[in-house]
Amino acid sequence: MVPCDTDECRAFDQKMSGLILSGFAATLGGGALTGPKVPLILRNLIGVGLATAPVTVPIVTDIIENMTPGRAATLSRAGSLGVSTISKLGESGFVGTLANGVKISAGFEKIGSTLGVNISYIESAVRGTFNFGKLESNAVNLAKSEGVSTLVIRAVNVINDKVAQFLTKAGYSAEKVVDKFGRETVNYVKTIKVGQ
């Protein structure tokens, strides 16, 4: 579940809570719908649904329309990496937080039988709380679940020398990249053959 951290999100949550609680009440009350009060209970539940429909139907429709196949795939892939909350979700990338509080920004690309995981940002509030090996293992499991034969993990624009040394020791290769403005950056790349 993604926690609400904006006023817009909280407002949406309040609007949806009535509909969700009504559905929950109907589900719990389903077993108790016997006896002479059944028509009255059903009529009231239908009335609640119809009363909230002008507000909730456009909201639910908007959610469904905005959850494109790309965003749905990105959300699923982020979860497979171990992300517990998402603050921004795009067609092929996300910004989120792992269960241990580490903030991460990453993107995905699938070309043929290759899955690319491009990590552009990682921030750990407490030194030593980030386990890159676990993230790599989760990425391998994600690649297996998608049926690809090759996984390419790329740490984009690495500027910290300690991180560069760590990635080199972990088997990542430095790849110099020149952007359209002529600035040179270094990515660290590891290609893993995925066994099915």
Q: Where are the domains of the chain?
A: 7-66, 69-193
Helix intervals (H) in 67-196: 69-81, 132-145, 161-169
**Among the listed ranges 14-18, 85-89, 122-126, which one has the minimum average pLDDT value?**
14-18
Whether this model's pTM surpasses 0.85:
no
How far is Cα 170 from Cα 176, in angstroms, rounded to an integer? Answer: 18
How far is Cα 94 from Cα 135, in angstroms, rounded to an integer? Answer: 15
Three-class DSSP category at 69: helix
Residue 113: which pLDDT band, with cuts at 50, 70 and 90? very high
Mean pLDDT of 15-37: 44
Q: Residues 66-95: pLDDT tens digits?
A: 556 678 888 899 999 999 998 988 888 999
Specify the CATH number for 69-193; select among 3.40.630, 3.30.70, 3.30.390, 2.30.29.
Answer: 3.40.630
Q: Identify which has the larger pLDDT, 107 or 66.
A: 107
Mean pLDDT of 107-131: 84
Which of 23-32, 51-60, 178-187 is most confident?
178-187
**Among the listed ranges 41-45, 87-91, 125-129, which one has the minimum average pLDDT value?**
41-45
> Given a cut of 60, is residue 144 above it in pLDDT?
yes
Say how many Å lie between the first and final Cα of the chain, rounded.
30
Q: Which residues of 15-54 are buried (b: 16+ CB within 10 A; e: fewer)?
A: ebeebeebeeebeeeeeeeeeeeeeeeeeebeebeeebee
Three-class DSSP category at 6: coil
